[in-house]
Amino acid sequence: MVENRPYRDLMAYLVLLMGVVIVAFPVYLAVLGSTFDAATISNGNMPLLPGDQAGINYSQALLSGGRLAREPVSMMMLNSFIMAMGIAIGKILISILSAFAVVYFSFPFRKTAFWIIFITLMLPVEVRIYPTYKIVADLGLLDTYAGLILPLIASATGTLLFRQFFMTIPDELLEASKIDGAGPFRFFKDTLLPLSITTIAALFVIQFIYGWNQYLWPLLITTKSSMQTIVIGIKKMITTQDALTEWQIAMTTAVLAMIPPVLVVIFMQRLFVKGLVETEK
Amino acid sequence: MEKRALFSNKLLPYMLLVPQLIITLVFFYWPASQALWQSFLLEDAFGLSSEFVGFENYRTLFQQPEYYRAMVTTAIFSSAVAVLALSCALLLATQADKKLKAAQAFKTFLIWPYAVAPAIAGVLWIFMFHPTLGTLARPIKATGVDWNPMLNANHAMLLLILSATWKQISYNFLFFLAGLQAIPKSVIEAAAIDGSGPIRRFWTIVFPLLSPTTFFLIVVNIVYVFFDTFGIIDAVTGGGPAGRTTTLVYKVYADGRLGGDLGGSAAQSVILMVIVIALTAVQFKFVERRVQY
């Protein structure tokens, strides 16, 4: 650095430490909440060190669920997982294919096709919820995984990301493959796909988190409790009538809902940052 | 920019495009045009018949005091979250940019709230500030404030702003840190040699050089508050008390679902689409400028 001023480093540590504490405190409370029984929480004097009810709470939540959302949380997690994986994989599949078409082929209406996809970048699902709901209902996809997944795949981020990446691949690679007699399938499989692995992984990380955290869409189209995702389930556990809310189960579920995406961010941090920065361009 | 070498298959490119085009047409263009069309229709109370009423739905909408209130709520909510989340993130990013031993660990500990679903973030904050059992509600009540976000609209709004900010800091932090690390050290060293101190250097050199990132983040934050905070609002307040924390997006949902007013809800959707397209256009202008920078 420019100057050497030890007290400034100390201040930096203090500011960052405070940031970390503020960021972590709500989650710490949720973890605490998942280790006490209902009475300890509801009298408003929850201790700031963990209790001994964690085993009971987690097994109750995972295996039998709460009073208000009767489905076991393990079932909800499975639904969330299927939805998140479906969205991530589906988006990667359709967008890598369409980007391949737009970048490596010349055909009439290439520009048109690109713009049709590109415009979807601008409109999130929230602004067209009811008409989309009606279409999904007409197709008989309510309470199905396809209904949860397909409408959320329709967006341009993936196509743009792959297009951008393909543009940076030197033309010489394609020329060389052509001289070797490779057709489009060979070129895609042997050259493009191996080069795209990091981009695919980065997009996967971002889309998995996006899919896991969806709220409004599953709220609308799932009516059966067996199709609930965990984010919806936890909301149902908290009612306006305080007497009915089982806070210890709700907090246990909140912790369970946070674990998969948070682990993904922590352990795949490099891919996560890459995906985040590049999908936003 | 185009590739020099291309394949010349006739049918293949269309087949590669078909999956994405079908999904886009069925789940994007079809519903978006339906929303546009529906905004000109008025359905009867039973949803059996509808007639074309022109701009009637829009006119009714702009006569509702609730709609203006939702606009004001959205404006307050998004500006408060944007200002808070951006300034906190900038403060943290400038500190993390210094050559500290534990910088990487701090970075990890600061970015993970991005992975928490908005609705879950809302649940965490309501647990913390719940009027009867919240750990942090007790000290507030001890000061004599009758803290109750379920009944007091200002308290509810404050809670929403805090939880939405909490969730957005990590995103802003990442982009600010990347922006800071892209500033050439030589520029800062030159200013230091000229005798300007750290604070002066920040405001005259670092902050202006960071402005493209800041503008980009302002737009992203506004879009975030408009759409992604739906889960937070639904979990924390449900739009209440008495509709005082209902934002524009929440009103689309509430009017269509609870009120059954599909025409009015569609008209609101169309207005929102226009707002988003405008915001995106602004963003693209800045992205272009950033490339030139």
Out of A20, A104, A258, name the one closest to residue B110 (CB). Answer: A20
* Gap from A5 CA to chain B (nearest CA, Å): 11
Out of B28, B116, B128, name the one closest to residue A154 (CB). Answer: B28
For residue B102, which residues of chain A lie inside 8 Å, CB to CB? 13
Asked if A139 contacts B30 with a C-beta cutoff of 8 angstroms, the reply is no
Out of A1, A33, A104, name the one closest to residue B7 (CB). Answer: A104
* Gap from A128 CA to chain B (nearest CA, Å): 6
Task: Enumerate residue ranges in chain B where pLDDT < 70.
Answer: 1-2, 4-5, 44-48, 258-260, 286-293
In a domain, B26, yes or no: no
Asked if B147 contacts A49 with a C-beta cutoff of 8 angstroms, the reply is no
In a domain, B213, yes or no: yes
Could you tell me the pLDDT band of residue A3, with boundaries at 50, 70 and 90?
low
- Mutation for A interface: B7, B12, B20, B257, most A CBs within 10 A: B20
Mapping DSSP to helix (H, G, I), strand (E, B) and coil, where does residue B43 land?
strand
**Which amino acid, residue B149?**
P
In a domain, A118, yes or no: yes
Pick the closest to residue B93 from B217, B196, B275 (CA basis).
Answer: B217
Instruction: Kindly state the average pLDDT of the residues A115-140.
Output: 81
User: In CATH, what number is assigned to the domain containing residue A244?
Assistant: 1.10.3720.10
Asked if B251 contacts B66 with a C-beta cutoff of 8 angstroms, the reply is yes
Residue B292 pLDDT: 38
In a domain, A21, yes or no: no
Alpha-carbon span B90 to B108, nearest angstrom: 16
In a domain, B230, yes or no: yes
For chains A and B, count residue pairs whose Cβ atoms are closer than 8 Å.
298
Number of domains in chain B: 1
The residues near B170 (Cβ < 8 Å, ≥ 6 apart) are A23, B89, B110, B111, B112, B113, B114
Asked if B91 contacts B180 with a C-beta cutoff of 8 angstroms, the reply is no
Number of domains in chain A: 1
Residue A106 pLDDT: 87
Subunit contact A94:B20, Cβ cutoff 8 A: yes
Q: Where does residue A51 rank: exposed (0-12), middle (13-18), buried (19+ CB within 10 A)? A: middle
Subunit contact B118:A242, Cβ cutoff 8 A: no
Residues paired with residue B42 on neighbouring β-strands, in sequence order? B51
Query: SS3 for chain A, per residue?
Result: CCCCCHHHHHHHHHHHHHHHHHHHHHHHHHHHHCCCCHHHHHCCCCCCCCCCCHHHHHHHHHHHCCCCCCCCHHHHHHHHHHHHHHHHHHHHHHHHHHHHHHHHECCCCHHHHHHHHHHHHHCCHHHHHHHHHHHHHHCCCCCCHHHHHHHHHCCCHHHHHHHHHHHHCCHHHHHHHHHCCCCHHHHHHHHHHHHCHHHHHHHHHHHHHHHHCCCHHHHHHCCCHHHCCHHHHHHHHCCCCHHHCCHHHHHHHHHHHHHHHHHHHHHCHHHHHHHHHHHCC
Residue B291 pLDDT: 41
Asked if B117 contacts B163 with a C-beta cutoff of 8 angstroms, the reply is no
* Gap from A177 CA to chain B (nearest CA, Å): 11
Residue A207 pLDDT: 92
Instruction: Kindly state the average pLDDT of the residues A75-81.
Output: 93
- Mutation for B interface: A128, A135, A171, A264, most B CBs within 10 A: A128
Alpha-carbon span B257 to B244, nearest angstrom: 18
Q: Which domain holds residue B216?
A: 63-292
The percent of residues above 70 in pLDDT, for chain A, comes to 94
In a domain, A7, yes or no: no
Alpha-carbon span A34 to A41, nearest angstrom: 10
Mapping DSSP to helix (H, G, I), strand (E, B) and coil, where does residue B152 land?
coil
Does the model's ipTM exceed the 0.95 cut? no
Subunit contact A107:B231, Cβ cutoff 8 A: no
pLDDT for residue A51 is more than 70: yes
Subunit contact B135:A46, Cβ cutoff 8 A: yes
Subunit contact A131:B123, Cβ cutoff 8 A: no
The residues near A118 (Cβ < 8 Å, ≥ 6 apart) are A156, A159, A160
For residue A1, which residues of chain B lie inside 8 Å, CB to CB? 98-99
pLDDT for residue A165 is more than 60: yes
Torsion of CA A67, A71, A140, B248, to 10 degrees: 50
Q: Which residue has the tokens 């949902």?
A: B253
For residue B269, which residues of chain A lie inside 8 Å, CB to CB? 127-130
Subunit contact A174:B238, Cβ cutoff 8 A: no
Tokens of A138: 């007409």
For residue A239, which residues of chain B lie inside 8 Å, CB to CB? none
What's the length of chain B?
293
In a domain, A119, yes or no: yes
* Eight-state DSSP code of residue B225: I
Could you tell me the pLDDT band of residue A10, with boundaries at 50, 70 and 90?
confident
Residue of B nearest to A242 (CA): B132
What's the length of chain A?
281
Angle at A43 between CA A42 and CA A46, to 5 degrees: 85
For residue B12, which residues of chain A lie inside 8 Å, CB to CB? 101, 105, 184
In a domain, A82, yes or no: yes
pLDDT for residue A53 is more than 60: yes
Out of A123, A130, A213, name the one closest to residue B262 (CB). Answer: A130
For residue B166, which residues of chain A lie inside 8 Å, CB to CB? 22-23, 26
Where helices occur in chain B by DSSP H, the ranges are 12-24, 30-38, 56-63, 65-96, 103-111, 118-129, 137-142, 153-181, 185-193, 198-201, 207-223, 230-236, 248-257, 262-292
Q: Output the pTM of the full model.
A: 0.89
In a domain, B70, yes or no: yes
- Mutation for A interface: B2, B17, B230, B248, most A CBs within 10 A: B17
Out of A3, A25, A187, name the one closest to residue B192 (CB). Answer: A3
Q: Which domain holds residue A223?
A: 67-279
**Which amino acid, residue A203?**
L
Residue of B nearest to A177 (CA): B5
Residues paired with residue B52 on neighbouring β-strands, in sequence order? B41
The percent of residues above 90 in pLDDT, for chain A, comes to 33
pLDDT for residue A113 is more than 70: yes
In a domain, B8, yes or no: no
Residue B261 pLDDT: 75
In a domain, A23, yes or no: no
User: In CATH, what number is assigned to the domain containing residue B142?
Assistant: 1.10.3720.10
Q: B155: phi > 0 → left, psi -120 to 50 → alpha, else beta; which?
A: alpha
